[in-house]
Structure formats: C-alpha cells, structure tokens
Amino acid sequence: NAGVTQTPKFQVLKTGQSMTLQCAQDMNHEYMSWYRQDPGMGLRLIHYSVGAGITDQGEVPNGYNVSRSTTEDFPLRLLSAAPSQTSVYFCASSLTGGLSGANVLTFGAGSRLTVL
Amino acid sequence: ELKVEQNPLFLSMQEGKNYTIYCNYSTTSDRLYWYRQDPGKSLESLFVLLSNGAVKQEGRLMASLDTKARLSTLHITAAVHDLSATYFCAVNFMEYGNKLVFGAGTILRVKS
C-alpha cells in the first residue's frame, strides 16, 4: 500500500519556467489537497478537491493550477515559476472532505522546489 | 479571521523533563489534530480530538481539548531524545466550509 506518492522530490527551476508536481493516492480517498510549507508559517492550503472533477481554491492559490480527472491523481501546476514559490510542497488526502468522522490527512513525502 | 496560534515556537528541553505546547484558535471548531514532522520528512498524525474534554494519550504524549477556551494542549512527560521533532496543531473550522488551518509549528529539541 503506497499511500500518497509525490514526484519529484527535488526540483530546481528558473524564473518563468513551468512544471507539474505529481500526486497520486491508492486509498480511494475522495479528498485531496496541496499545501506549501514555509519556515515559521506552518502549512498553507493552495488548492483542494473533494472528488473527481471538483477543485477549489485554498488560502494561497495564485500562480498554481490543479485538476482532478481521476480519484487517484491530483497534479499541481506552476504556470510561471517565481522565487516566491520556493518552498516545500505536500500533497495530502483523506477519505472525505471533512463532514464526517475524523478525516485524518495522509501526507506525501514532500517536494522541495527551488526557483532561481 | 481564522487563526491558529501555537506557543512556544521553539522549545529546548532536557531529557526527563515535562513540558506543554499550547494551541489556541480563533473561533468555533469541531475537531483538532496534532501532527508530528521529523526533519526533512513528511507529517504523521498523532491525535484527533473531536469533543470538549477529549483526552488522547500515546506513550509520553498526551493531548487535550477545551472547546470553550478554544485551547488544546500537547503535554510531554519525561521527554526523551526521540521526541525531537516539529509538532503542528491543525484546526478544522466547520462553519467556514470545513477549512483546516495549521499552526506555525513548535520545534522541539530534547537534549541528552
């Protein structure tokens, strides 16, 4: 059981380049989300999805796009990378979006992105 | 505004000592989570607290929730080096579309 798989683990980009961070889960979770982690700021929600075909913005969505064509996959796209997007990105999933049960998030291993 | 404040943000303690990490939040919540993150690693779930007065314990860690005070505590008993990590609380704000907000994290260093 792989859980939540993120790729790549490390990436260096130049300003203006685009890239996609991949996230896949094999737990049949309805809810998937992307967070960025910056020192002293905890985790901030970028985008989330409560099911295939449904996405919504979180706290810091600017500069990022997402799509959810399948239950398993939730890629995060950086359209035109900026140095302010240098961060560690985590994908997380849970069984549902929060209306029932404990809904503990399962996190991927993280992707460290540096934008020069 | 939805706020989750943790304190202290950094805690250096000797092995064998007790200490408490506090998590305050700004408005009504239906559940609160504690996560642990080891350096360079992902986050793993420690506790989920679902109701007022809830107490959960695992080894040397005990978490509690007081919804009236909007406060959760993570108590460390007789700290050991293996507890060194960053601890996050995360609060689910049900009246705001189930928005989950993380605290800034508490970096815990247990010295031998």
The predicted structure's pLDDT at residue A1 = 64
Cross-chain Cβ contact B99/A108 below 8 Å:
no
pLDDT tens profile B16-59: 999 999 999 999 888 999 999 999 899 999 999 988 889 999 99
- Band (pLDDT 50/70/90 cuts) for residue B97 is confident
Q: How far apart are CA A70 and CA A53, in angstroms?
A: 8
Nearest to A99 among B41, B44, B98 (CB): B98
The predicted structure's pLDDT at residue A98 = 57
Query: Strand runs (DSSP E) across chain A, as ranges?
Result: 4-7, 10-13, 19-25, 31-37, 43-51, 54-57, 64-66, 76-78, 87-94, 106-107, 111-115
The predicted structure's pLDDT at residue A100 = 52
Between B30 and B101, whose confidence is greater? Answer: B101
User: Do residues B70 and B29 make contact, with C-beta atoms less than 8 angstroms apart?
Assistant: yes
Q: Does B95 touch chain A (CB under 8 A)?
A: no
DSSP characters for chain B?
---EEEE-SEEEEETT--EEEEEEESS--SEEEEEEE-TTS-EEEEEEE-STT-EEEETTEEEEEETTTTEEEEEE-S--GGG-EEEEEEEEEGGGTSEEEE---EEEEEE-
The predicted structure's pLDDT at residue B96 = 81
The predicted structure's pLDDT at residue A41 = 83
Strands A10-13 and A111-115: parallel
Residue A24 confidence (pLDDT) above 90: yes
The predicted structure's pLDDT at residue B95 = 83
The predicted structure's pLDDT at residue A97 = 62
- Triad A85, A90, A92: Cα angle to 5°: 140
Q: Does B43 touch chain A (CB under 8 A)?
A: yes
**Chain A CB contacts of B42 below 8 Å:** 90, 107-110
pLDDT tens profile A73-90: 999 999 999 999 999 999
- Band (pLDDT 50/70/90 cuts) for residue B1 is confident
The predicted structure's pLDDT at residue A70 = 96
> What average pLDDT does the segment A37-55 reach?
91
The predicted structure's pLDDT at residue A2 = 76
* Residue A45 C-alpha, separation from nearest chain B C-alpha, in angstroms: 8
A18-22, A63-67, B26-30, B34-38: segment of lowest average pLDDT = B26-30
Q: Which of B92, B111, B83, B106 is nearest to B31 (CA)?
A: B92
Residue B112 confidence (pLDDT) above 90: no
Q: In the numeric block, which tokens belong to residue A17?
A: 């380049």
The predicted structure's pLDDT at residue A84 = 96
Map tokens 């737990």 to a residue: A27
The predicted structure's pLDDT at residue B86 = 96
User: Do residues B73 and B20 make contact, with C-beta atoms less than 8 angstroms apart?
Assistant: yes
How does B73-91 read in b/e, with b if 16+ C-beta sit within 10 Å?
A: bbebbebeeebbbbbbbbb
Residue B94 confidence (pLDDT) above 90: no
